[in-house]
Structure 1
Amino acid sequence: MKVIGLAGWSGAGKTTLLQRAIPRLLEEGLRVSVVKHAHHEFDVDVPGKDSWVHRRSGASEVLVASSRRWALMHELRGAAEPRLQELLAKMAPVDLVLVEGFKREPHRKIEVHRAANGKPWLFPGDSGIVGIVTDAEVETRLPVVHLDDIDAVTALIKRAAISIEDLFSEATA
């Protein structure tokens, strides 16, 4: 299983980029999953529904299953937020895992940067960044592709992806 992160400030276009890149990767025959980091409290179930009631009542985990999908919700209940490596270990095997966010984790990632955001670049201070997807001019030795060039974006994703085993040995080296 290979992994590559997409990191950038909120509003840079990471989700939109993934929405456009995932179908292209699927067309190439890859099985793709996503790990998404949220910076705030979020809900995946509907308030008032049974799973929500069970979770709000204090259950540590609630697994919801149907003939179409299943979802496992795990409440941390004050425990530390899990690190990316721990979360990736919970994923079912696929060809490629795209990690959206987790910009502070020490893993290999591609920076997504939108000029209109007015935010600083991440790459000068993050040695894990191995490529840039942007609509801005930038001077760097890293590979740079335009936000709208989905063929180039997917090629960069595939080139930059690394096996999970190598990902974390590289991050700690």
Structure 2
Amino acid sequence: MSANYFIVLGICGTSGSGKTTLLEAVLPKLREAGLTVSVIKHSHHDLQLDTPGKDSFRHRQAGAGEVMVVSPHRFGLFAETAAELTLDQQLSRLSPCDLVLLEGHKAQPVPKLEIHRPALGKPPLFESDPSIIAVASDGALDAPCLVLDLNDPSAVARFIMDWLAQRKAASRA
């Protein structure tokens, strides 16, 4: 499956801008609207999601390329990679859904919603990234795109739902 099968919106911003906090507030609103949403969170760090000493960790240490842990409520897949997965490779591992939100992934050439807090003293990303279609901010901004109130997650969720509806309509046309 390729990125063409998913509608993807990036949620970007500098470190500490509140990307995760906003997603925590917006995701329930999207789910209440009947949408299925997946999130891919990018990290620059070497993630250790497994626990040393657990069977799954021991299987990986013994040479398994992938280990899936399954319970009645969820599953996790631990996989060793030679290189970071491309966006298409990441998306191919997801189940079908209405929307994929990418947290981080600043360099991906996808439409993005920027989270910007002027008090952090960092320049907004929209000044150098034409793929930013809107900014959620807690301060006044002069931006070439729509500016949303960062403190109004309902308005941000409505923006995302409207944008998604437009994308779906365009793909059917």
Q: How many angstroms apart in 2 are the aligned matches of 1:62 and 1:9?
A: 33
SS in 2 for 1:21: helix
Q: How many angstroms apart in 1 are the aligned matches of 2:130 and 2:47?
A: 30
1:144 aligned partner: 147
1:158 aligned partner: 161
Which of 106, 115, 118 matches 1:115? 118
Structure 1: which amino acid aligns with 2:132?
A: I
1:51 aligned partner: 56
Q: How many angstroms apart in 2 are the aligned matches of 1:92 and 1:126?
A: 29
Q: How many angstroms apart in 2 are the aligned matches of 1:3 and 1:60?
A: 28
Q: How many angstroms apart in 2 are the aligned matches of 1:117 and 1:61?
A: 40
Q: How many angstroms apart in 2 are the aligned matches of 1:29 and 1:35?
A: 20
- TM-score, normalised with respect to structure 2: 0.86
User: For this pair of structures, how many residues does the alignment match?
Assistant: 162
- TM-score, normalised with respect to structure 1: 0.86
Q: How many angstroms apart in 1 are the aligned matches of 2:37 and 2:133?
A: 20
Contact 2:11-2:112 within 8 A present in 1 as well: yes
Deviation, 1:43, is: 2.0
Structure 2: which amino acid aligns with 1:102?
A: H
SS in 2 for 1:145: strand
* Percent sequence identity over aligned pairs: 45
SS in 2 for 1:158: helix
Calculate the aligned-residue CA RMSD, in Å.
1.6
* Ranges of 4+ aligned residues in structure 1 off by more than 4 Å: none
Q: How many angstroms apart in 1 are the aligned matches of 2:29 and 2:156?
A: 10
Change over 3 Å in CA distance of 1:29–1:137 after alignment to 2: same
1:171 aligned partner: none
